[in-house]
Amino acid sequence: MELMLTHVDQVARRGSSWPVSIRQPLEAIAEARVALKTDEDVRHKLKIRH
């Protein structure tokens, strides 16, 4: 699974770093996912059918 999270500073109206209060829990989740086993059959590339 891939997930992309972005943070936009509402004052500057630009992308910016996550506040520490949000970034730390997200980093903990990412570290926990690294330890999870991934089945070999989910490592293939996706193909889009038309």
pLDDT band at 48 (very low <50, low <70, confident <90, very high): confident
In a domain, residue 49? The reply is no
In a domain, residue 50? The reply is no
Query: What pLDDT does 7 receive?
Result: 86
* Number of independent structural domains in the chain: 1
Is the pLDDT confidence value at 24 over 80? yes
From the CB of residue 18, how many other CB atoms can be counted at a distance below 10 Å?
Answer: 14
Query: What pLDDT does 38 receive?
Result: 72
From the CB of residue 16, how many other CB atoms can be counted at a distance below 10 Å?
Answer: 13
Percent of the chain clearing pLDDT 90 (strictly above): 16
**By the 8 A CB rule, do 19 and 27 touch?**
no
* Spatial separation of the C-alpha atoms in residues 9 and 19, rounded to whole Å: 10
Structural domain boundaries enclosing 13: 8-37
Q: Per the structure block, which two tokens stand in for 29?
A: 């989740």
Rg of the chain over Cα atoms, rounded to whole angstroms, equals: 16
In a domain, residue 2? The reply is no
Query: What pLDDT does 5 receive?
Result: 80
In a domain, residue 48? The reply is no
Is the pLDDT confidence value at 28 over 90? yes
In a domain, residue 45? The reply is no
Q: For 33-43, what is each residue's pLDDT tens digit?
A: 888 877 666 66
In a domain, residue 15? The reply is yes
